[in-house]
Amino acid sequence: MTENIVSIKGLWVCRAEHAVLEDINLELHAADFLGLIGPNGGGKSTLLKVMLGLIKPDRGSIAIFGLPPAAARSRVGYVPQKTVFDQSFPVKALDVVLMGRYSRTGLLHRYGRMDRQAALQALAAVGMEDRALREIGALSGGEQQRVFVARSLVSDPELLLLDEPTAGVDSAQQTDFYDLLCHLNRDLGIAIVLVSHDITAISKYVNKIACLNQRLYYHDSKELCNEDIEKAYGCPVEMIAHGTPHRVLREHD
């Protein structure tokens, strides 16, 4: 039986008496690649932060690898929404990846040979080993995102959480980026949760899809029915197809 790595039951998160997440139930396994879609403000980023132990639920339970999320954090990699930084700041790609070793070295300790070797291996895993000594600001948007993924990989995570990682990346580089995620999932065995607004693109790559707008619409498969999408987005949906994916939204106010 495939290992259950995420178990969420009856989970609620509220802010000022407003439910951000409402009665969330989700089970994920070691080989899963989940695409998480939904409208802005629907709670997608909040759910990732709950899985990281950064936000505590008001009700319900969550276990990551059978542990409280904070206790399992060393086994989880995280790529937040597009990182904003000074493009002229002289920091090399290798140094950015080494930041992912803070949990092992601490802020006041020097990086050792093993840390640098791990960082180079992480860069190699995302196809960026030849850019290790390039300044991060000199890289393209797609290359920068690969470096940020390498930073999340340097601690050897078993679960990777990505929050809209292709925002601001052009379409050609997005395809390369999704291919990279498939490699990490299929070849390296890393389970992935990918938050995205790009329903058509991710449907080609993920093996499961969920839709979140306070409530989670999820059937442990790659298919979502029109009713689920319409409830989550508040828009009438004519069709979502896979294979050569496309979507059609009926005219609405």
- Nearest CA-CA partner of 28 in 53, 47, 46: 47
Q: Could you give the 3-state DSSP secondary structure of residue 168?
A: coil
Long-range contacts, stretch 54-60, CB < 8 angstroms, 24+ apart? 55/13, 57/11, 57/12, 57/13, 57/21, 58/12, 58/13, 58/14, 59/10, 59/11, 59/12, 60/8, 60/9, 60/10, 60/11, 60/12, 60/23, 60/24
CA distance 91 to 145: 15
- Nearest CA-CA partner of 80 in 4, 124, 128, 144: 144
Give pLDDT, residue 82: 67
Give pLDDT, residue 68: 96
pLDDT digits (tens, 9 = 90+) for 53-65: 999 999 999 999 9
The number of domains in the chain is 1
Give 66's Cβ-side CA count (13 Å radius): 3
Q: How far is CA 230 from CA 88, 198, 200, 226, 244, in A?
A: 44, 16, 16, 6, 21
Give pLDDT, residue 106: 55
Residue indicated by tokens 């999704």? 178
| Residues whose CB falls within 8 Å of the CB of residue 90, separated by 6 or more in sequence, listed in order | 135
C-alpha torsion sign, points 60, 66, 72, 76: negative
Confidence of residue 19 (pLDDT cuts 50, 70, 90): very high
- Report residue 153 CA to chain centroid gap: 12
- Nearest CA-CA partner of 159 in 67, 21, 36, 29: 29
What is the rounded average pLDDT of the residues 40-55?
94
* pLDDT over 80 at 34, yes or no: yes
Domain that holds residue 165: 4-249
20 vs 103, higher pLDDT? 20
pLDDT digits (tens, 9 = 90+) for 103-114: 655 555 677 889
What is the rounded average pLDDT of the residues 30-57?
93
What is the rounded average pLDDT of the residues 44-50?
96
Helix H or strand E segment including 226: helix 226-233
Considering only CA atoms, give the Rg of the chain: 19
Give pLDDT, residue 245: 42
* pLDDT over 60 at 237, yes or no: no
pTM here is 0.84
What is the rounded average pLDDT of the residues 8-12?
97
- Give the pairing type, strands 191-195 and 159-163: parallel
Q: Give me 165's structure tokens.
A: 């990682």
Confidence of residue 242 (pLDDT cuts 50, 70, 90): very low
230 vs 149, higher pLDDT? 149
Specify the range with the lowest mean pLDDT, choosing from 166-175, 200-209, 213-222. Answer: 166-175
pLDDT digits (tens, 9 = 90+) for 82-99: 666 667 788 999 999 998
Give pLDDT, residue 232: 65
Confidence of residue 189 (pLDDT cuts 50, 70, 90): very high
CATH number of 170's domain: 3.40.50.300
What is the rounded average pLDDT of the residues 167-192?
86
Give pLDDT, residue 103: 64
Q: Could you give the 3-state DSSP secondary structure of residue 93?
A: helix
Q: Give me 141's structure tokens.
A: 């948007």
What is the rounded average pLDDT of the residues 222-246?
57
CA distance 159 to 157: 5
Confidence of residue 43 (pLDDT cuts 50, 70, 90): very high
Average per-residue pLDDT for the chain: 84
